[in-house]
Chain A
């Protein structure tokens, strides 16, 4: 049942370049209609994964399916159904934007009409030569190209790179619309607020290994959160008993202030303790994906040769 619904499935997907392991044993499933963010710093394996999915490079072992079809055996058919924005792409600078869209429209009906609509929406001049475009406008042309055929799945590598904030918002709106139309979007990024804004789930990859796949909210909840408390009058340290298990860490303390690191599930206890104290101010910001991301990147790199998936959220 789940297999039929998956937009992307990989089975032990591995890519090595000589002794360098670019991607190791990736088992990943992205459901249809989902916006999935693939997170990781440069060189972590994001682009390798995308290039494997698009059959630009071939796996050392393992395999992948897109829309239920093997990516190697059905690469040609899949290109009709999948849109792609490569990272840092370039096309012939002599072509106009419109000619570039025409080049990409072959074999798929209705593409040019949608391309012109999207170009207008992004404020892209179709008469300009690609070589004269700024990096942001070139990225817009790439985005239009990836969406112009109304693909069932769109794979985007760093899609908002070079875009100004207004166009980014336009792009986010477009992603929401596409999701509303049942399309699946798989995007790689290291812009965490963006992932937080548009993605349903994220996969985090580190040194070629998938270390977490979760819903964005769920991932944030796993993060320890900081709380800053200011007291109305001096409070002796002895009055503060956070329990013997050491779950709550005191990051900084004084007679009139306190900074705590609180794990998931301990908030209630902390609030009850503070209720008996003269609290003048309390700052407890929402956990960010960045904090969750950074916490997953703390500590040594995974060395276990087996699959590194620590947790998996519900795809629904």
Chain B
């Protein structure tokens, strides 16, 4: 039964997943393609310096000094970090939240839940089977991004730390899965896709804004640590490949708690949307 649910989930989401994979490949190819041109432009340092701090944060430049030195913005890694890897979890996060918000709510709305749960299947089995399948899809999309960048770098003959890029993608994937799991929780709470999407989306935007603005809020700077985005910094990861174990703990913790809460809510609630 679970395999049948997985197969149907993959089949129904196939075109969406392929479209996202194609989009990521195009985006990665475009960024890799323009790097040689951009890297030769003079005055980019002044441009970066002139940007408001929040805008630099938004582009993934958290440390201006580091961004301007030789291991910073003007390296291939620095450019990739600013123009691609800092946006990658945001982009794929949108897809993750959209799919997570509908994981059980969409079936409840269309009346399919009554058919699915009339079969020998636990409620938690349905939810977790779907969630794991979609996490696998998100993993595949992350792998597509990794391969696209590696192929692009090879074609440009730009040296890049393959392991560093792998680790950066892995931590980004952790963040994406955490965002997805929270959306799954809201889907189980509301059983309405639009409401789950609104709450999960708003929460994610809020977390992103806190991550960007909190460092400039002085005594309230600690708020940054409340945002899951704070535990993903692409530039240091791409430069050194040093993974902060705390990031893994945070993202694993959010994912496990959110999915456990989602199954508990879904298991005990009335199936009425």
Contact = CB atoms under 8 A, between A and B. Distances in A.
Interface string A294-310: 00000000000000000
B114 A92 contact: no
Contact of B272 (A57, A82, A91): A57
A57 B270 contact: yes
Nearest to A84: B118
Given A106-B1, A107-B119, A57 B271 contact: yes
B143 interface: no
Question: Which of B110, B116, B117, B119: most chain A Cβ within 10 A?
Answer: B119
Contacts of A255: none
A56 B270 contact: yes
A221 interface: no
Interface in A57-96: 57-58, 76, 79-80, 82-84, 86, 88-92, 94-95
B225 interface: no
Contacts of A86: 111, 114-115, 118
Interface stretch (B2-10, B23-31, B216-224, B246-254): B2-10
Q: How large is the interface on B (under 10, 10 to 19, 20 to 34, 35 or more residues)?
A: 20 to 34
A218 interface: no
Nearest to A50: B114
Interface in B121-167: 121-122
A57 B270 CA distance: 4
A23 interface: no
Contacts of B121: 76, 79, 106-107
A89 B112 CA distance: 6
Interface stretch (A4-12, A97-105, A240-248, A277-285): A97-105
Contacts of A99: 8
B50 interface: no
B12 interface: yes
A79 B120 contact: yes
B112 A92 contact: yes
Contact of A56 (B4, B8, B114): B114
A54 B270 CA distance: 11
Given A79-B119, A79-B121, A106 B2 contact: yes
B270 A91 contact: no
Contacts of A108: 120
A76 B120 contact: yes
A57 to B, nearest CB: 4
B12 A56 contact: no
A49 interface: no
Nearest to A54: B118
B5 A103 contact: yes
B123 to A, nearest CB: 9
Interface of B: 1-5, 8, 11-12, 110-122, 268, 270-272
19 contacts: A54-B114, A54-B117, A56-B114, A56-B271, A57-B270, A57-B272, A76-B122, A79-B117, A79-B118, A79-B120, A86-B114, A89-B115, A91-B110, A94-B12, A103-B116, A106-B2, A106-B5, A107-B1, A108-B120
